[in-house]
Structure 1
């Protein structure tokens, strides 16, 4: 018996040692297969990945790299000026709008939502802050059990009513659960406080001061735009109103970079408010969220980021490393593309720092 236990112990030690060696040898990627300048390496990486979409990388206020790959639609190549439905990247815009109104003292982040939705259950215990940080406990109307119909036109109040009769997932402020419903409610709060339709407010107070002249909420049929794809085929129809303030903005990588530059230069909100947005307000392993941003540690650097995706065939990811003044934008019109993984590798190439396999997912 002792001999058997000894053999088992030695086997376990050997397995551990081999695993550690394998991890050290193969567990990180230093992109040694790429050559040339940083821009050339980026281009080689995206080509090798057979990436479909558009990328823009800006550092210290200057565009370091931008290029489109594959087709946006039939006979329409992806390019830096291609219009995409940016999906949940819109949430940062909604959060900035709320913070602008807070700076003007037109609302308070600690206001209970019962002030704006008097009939919503538990509204007196849920605050605007909870909505911003996905810590309200309000269920996400896009979860499968609600059987939400993406294809039809929606009124945002009807979206909220979809979940109003459902119990909270947890006590407000006690956990984190991503809720598109909360951001639909924020859009309605923006309308009630500002007296403007949500889209008009964003256009006047964010698009215009950021010089985002190629961004919009609806696109006429004669304007070329990216079509969503799923495994190379046109994705299912999704009406833009089905996302409202949780994800209905249409933009380009060029305009998104202007938005993030406006934030960096305190054009839209103060530095203090921007820092508040980038502070963790809710968490549930492995996620941490501020206001309109996931708060992250990327390869040892403090950062914020956000994904965006539509079942119609879009997958996006944005990362901002504030201390490095580095912004990495990945927009894809192919649902099978892992935009977050690609974003992490592009960040690794720009920083010229190897990336561990687990860092692709953080």
Structure 2
């Protein structure tokens, strides 16, 4: 036996430590190079935060630094909580995933469906983005005086007779924000509570996410609310501050600190020691059901790992690379970029938040080349190191 030879477990940890150090260096360098005002990174492993980095400023004008209390907007990562809420209602016997959406939201019968009966579109198809509805919720947001998002359900109802199903439901993937708004209506109508109230009671509070909320920031948290920015023509410009997502809250209204999101990631990854508490939110078997591929999303380069191998599960995106299973969701809205990426078989997951969008999201392989995407995709190597 050679003297100084490392124990296999120690060698594995050395490989992981190097991967983490390399990632941190990349995160810092890319954030600076791309003129991103502020960013945070957390790594959760075996239920604990093992890395927590905060870079730059939450308010670039007042020079307020990012820290653990900084509140980011998580945009479409909200959709994962909407999916969990639907699964909670399913497990309580209040619905089936294969129920037609018009059973709960009959107003949708007014939608024009050239492919058949709108009554055949199911909750499962909405959760997997295969129902055929368009991507954008609201086509009018070109002037400063226009609302950020529609404020009320009645505004969307008025649009339904002018709404067309874009492709045959169930035939392919098509990322749809309005589809998730419709699921939000299901949650409200079956629970008898506003979406925000339901999720607060059934997800946020049970997971001790006490600095998380939807839309406008309460006064006691306002000093910690991050501003957001766009980089346009090489210059950083401010986005509107503390916006309200209105009736679209179920597809993108979540605001949260990194420690709160670490609690969420720990729940998603699971912990036998906390199984009783976590199962009160959602059973492990139901989470695993959400992570089963439903349809290929490989033609869409805006979600998950933004790869041809990406598949849509139920409110999560699923992929596999270098023998590692990845589960996650991305978010982008109003200058914020957010990434939730889990490798559950390695009991690890990463959280990345940016308060600056360097380029607009585009459905193209080029979307993988933005600074935010390069940093997010680099977290794959952390999971790959743990899998060796």
TM-score band, normalised by shorter chain: 0.7 to 0.9
For the residue of structure 1 that corresponds to 2:328, the secondary structure is strand
1:85 offset after TM fit, Å? 1.2
Deviation readout 1:254-306 (Å, 9 max, x if unpaired): 11111121233351211211111001112243341011111111332111111
Q: Which residue of 1 aligns with 2:362?
A: none
Question: Is 1:47 matched with 2:47?
Answer: no
Indicate which of 329, 339, 345 corresponds to 2:378: 345
How far apart in 1 are the matches of 2:372 and 2:239?
17
Instruction: Rate the CA distance shift 1:335–1:41 in 2: closer, same or farther, 3 A.
Output: same
Q: Is the 8 A contact 1:55 1:68 kept in 2?
A: yes
Q: Which residue of 2 aligns with 1:255?
A: 260
Q: Which residue of 1 aligns with 2:301?
A: none
Indicate which of 129, 142, 148 corresponds to 1:134: 129
Q: Which runs of 5+ in 1 are unaligned?
A: 1-34, 354-362
Q: Which runs of 5+ in 2 are unaligned?
A: 1-15, 112-116, 299-307, 359-369
For the residue of structure 2 that corresponds to 1:344, the secondary structure is helix
Deviation readout 1:206-233 (Å, 9 max, x if unpaired): 0111111110113135432111101122
How far apart in 1 are the matches of 2:382 and 2:169?
40
Indicate which of 290, 304, 308 corresponds to 2:327: 304
Which stretches of structure 1, 4 residues or more, deviate above 6 A after TM superposition?
none
Deviation readout 1:50-94 (Å, 9 max, x if unpaired): 263111011122212111111111322112321011100100000
TM-score by length of 2: 0.76
TM-score by length of 1: 0.81
1:248 offset after TM fit, Å? 0.2
Question: Is 1:282 matched with 2:315?
Answer: no
How far apart in 2 are the matches of 1:59 and 1:36?
13
How far apart in 2 are the matches of 1:174 and 1:39?
40
Q: Which residue of 2 aligns with 1:325?
A: 347
5 Å matches for 1:229-268?
A: 229-231=229-231, 232-236=236-240, 238-241=243-246, 243-265=248-270, 267=278, 268=281
RMSD: 2.5
> Whose radius of gyration is greater, 1 or 2?
1
Q: Is the 8 A contact 2:295 2:311 kept in 1?
A: yes
For the residue of structure 2 that corresponds to 1:244, the secondary structure is helix
5 Å matches for 1:1-362?
A: 39-49=20-30, 50=32, 52-73=38-59, 74-120=62-108, 121=111, 122-142=117-137, 146-148=139-141, 149-151=146-148, 154-159=151-156, 161-217=158-214, 218-220=216-218, 222-231=222-231, 232-236=236-240, 238-241=243-246, 243-265=248-270, 267=278, 268-285=281-298, 286=308, 287-310=310-333, 312-336=334-358, 338-349=371-382, 351-352=384-385
How far apart in 1 are the matches of 2:323 and 2:91?
32
How far apart in 2 are the matches of 1:242 and 1:78?
30
